[in-house]
Structure 1
Amino acid sequence: MKIYMGEDYKGMSRKAANIISAQIILKPDCVLGLATGSTPIGTYDQLVNWYEKGDLDFSKVVTINLDEYKGLSGDNDQSYRYFMNKHLFDRINIYKENTYVPNGLEADSKKACQEYNDIITKCGGIDMQLLGLGHNGHIGFNEPGGAFEKETHCVNLTKSTIEANKRFFEKEEDVPRQAYTMGIKSIMQAKKILVVVSGEDKADIVKEAFTGPVTPEVPASVLQLHNDVTLVGDRAALSKML
């Protein structure tokens, strides 16, 4: 595993964007696995900045997102499709038909998940998967205790996840109770994995995930078994790894 440190969030974001941009330059038609959440926003902003300067071309890039709330349409401002459009896709020269997010409006969970697995296969797999890291070690919506062997599946969101997400909604009842997410197996099949972490509040889980035992109780710990993982964090998040 490679570890890179930025002094602060901006420095971390720039280093992560450097790694993604190198992937795009080396393979212009690469398949990028993307993540939502507050941590990657700075990385996306930096990629947009380089695109605007003419340094990056996204016209052949394909993207596959980790997850989506079940029951939300892509034009709902709390959906992950909306998030990706706002923070990245609407700001670069990517073709929307080459950007994939699980279909939150597909009520048949088995169908939705199989269709998404088929998309990943059709695209030839993921060249680089970007991941954030939850306080309890979750990646995507793969919560502690889940099975490592799962591909895309429907999950019931935990109370802690609903609690963490309710700030984005008008009231707690509006927070979806289920989501479609790539499973650990899907994530581990990516050729390269890039994990971004920021803030002192992530320091404990970073250490636990990357130096502790590999266990479903800390989903991100399985990344220790992948042969090409890069961890990029700011000084605060990596403080217990130094």
Structure 2
Amino acid sequence: MEIVIVPDSAAGARVAARLIARVVTAKPTAVLGLATGSSPLGTYAELAEQATSGTTDFSAASGFALDEYVGIPAEHPQSYAAVIDREVTRRLGMDPARVHVPDGRATEIPAACDAYEAAIRASGGVDIQILGIGANGHIGFNEPSSSLSSRTRIKTLTPRTRADNARFFDSLDDVPTHCLTQGLGTIMDARRIVLVAQGSAKAAAVAAAVEGPVSAMCPASVLQFHPHATVVVDEAAAADLTLTDYYRHTYDNKPDWQI
């Protein structure tokens, strides 16, 4: 894992956006793995500025969202179909037909999950997966105890995750109890991964993912096995790491073409 410690969330968004833009510039038809939640919003805003200025062209790129709630309408403002359309597809100038979200309203959930996996494979696979991390170490909605080899499936959200997401809804009772999520095995198939985390609330999860043992109790720790995963964290999210001087030295002395 490549650890990048930045002063604040704005700097983290710029670093992550630069990494993503490089992939799209090198391959205009790149397939992006799109995280939801609050963590990547700054990164998407940076990418939107690049799209608006013409610095990076996303019009031929494709996208696959990490997850979707089960049972809420697609037009609900907090459905991830709506969030991805609002924060990514429109702002980056992507073709809506090339941006895909798991079908949380499917009548046959297992079949919908299999179809999503098949669509990712048919696209040629994800070139760069964007991730956030939950306070309990989840990535996507792969909650603690998720299989490290899991594929797209239905999951029950933990009380902590529902409480964390309640700020997006009118009340905790309105937060769905289930979701569809790409599995950890699906995420690990991406050619490159960039995870962004901000704030002291994520410090323990970041430390467990980066420096702790690989464990299903911290799903993000599986990224230690990935050949090209970059973790971009601000000072607050890096507070519980023990090797911060080493991470700074390693990144600061890495040739630009390796980053």
**Quick check: 1:80 aligned with 2:53?**
no
Match of 1:138 in 2: 138
Task: After superposing the two structures, state which structure 1 stretch, 72-81 or 37-46, moved more.
Answer: 72-81
Match of 2:164 in 1: 164
User: For 2:3, what is the secondary structure of its paired residue?
Assistant: strand
User: For 2:130, what is the secondary structure of its paired residue?
Assistant: strand
1:232 maps to a residue whose letter is: V
1:196 maps to a residue whose letter is: V
Q: Give 1:124-203 correspondences, 5 Å limit.
A: 124-203=124-203
User: For 2:233, what is the secondary structure of its paired residue?
Assistant: strand
Q: CA deviation at 1:93?
A: 1.9
Q: CA deviation at 1:34?
A: 0.8
Match of 1:105 in 2: 105
1:237 maps to a residue whose letter is: A
Q: CA deviation at 1:206?
A: 0.9
Q: Is the 8 A contact 2:202 2:237 kept in 1?
A: yes
Q: Is the 8 A contact 2:37 2:132 kept in 1?
A: yes
Q: TM-score, normalised by structure 2?
A: 0.91
Task: After superposing the two structures, state which structure 1 stretch, 121-130 or 69-78, moved more.
Answer: 69-78
Q: Is the 8 A contact 1:71 1:107 kept in 2?
A: no
Q: Distance in 2 between matches of 1:190 and 1:120?
A: 10
Q: Is the 8 A contact 1:106 1:112 kept in 2?
A: yes
Q: Give 1:1-242 correspondences, 5 Å limit.
A: 1-241=1-241, 242=244
Q: CA deviation at 1:5?
A: 2.3
User: For 2:149, what is the secondary structure of its paired residue?
Assistant: coil
Unaligned runs of 5+ in 2: 245-259
Q: Is the 8 A contact 1:13 1:46 kept in 2?
A: yes
Q: Is the 8 A contact 2:13 2:42 kept in 1?
A: yes
Runs of 4+, deviation exceeding 3 Å: none
- Note the alpha carbon deviations across 1:32-67, whole angstroms, 9 max, x for none: 101011111110001011111110101110000100
Aligned residues, how many?
Answer: 242
Q: Distance in 1 between matches of 2:11 and 2:110?
A: 41
Task: After superposing the two structures, state which structure 1 stretch, 23-32 or 84-93, moved more.
Answer: 84-93
Q: CA deviation at 1:102?
A: 0.4
Q: Is the 8 A contact 2:134 2:161 kept in 1?
A: no
The change in CA–CA distance for 1:185 and 1:72 in structure 2 (over 3 A counts) is same
Q: Distance in 2 between matches of 1:133 and 1:153?
A: 19
- Note the alpha carbon deviations across 1:100-146, whole angstroms, 9 max, x for none: 11012102111110111111111111111111011111011101111
Q: TM-score, normalised by structure 1?
A: 0.97
User: For 2:63, what is the secondary structure of its paired residue?
Assistant: strand
Q: CA deviation at 1:238?
A: 1.6
Q: Distance in 2 between matches of 1:209 and 1:45?
A: 26
Q: Distance in 2 between matches of 1:189 and 1:26?
A: 20
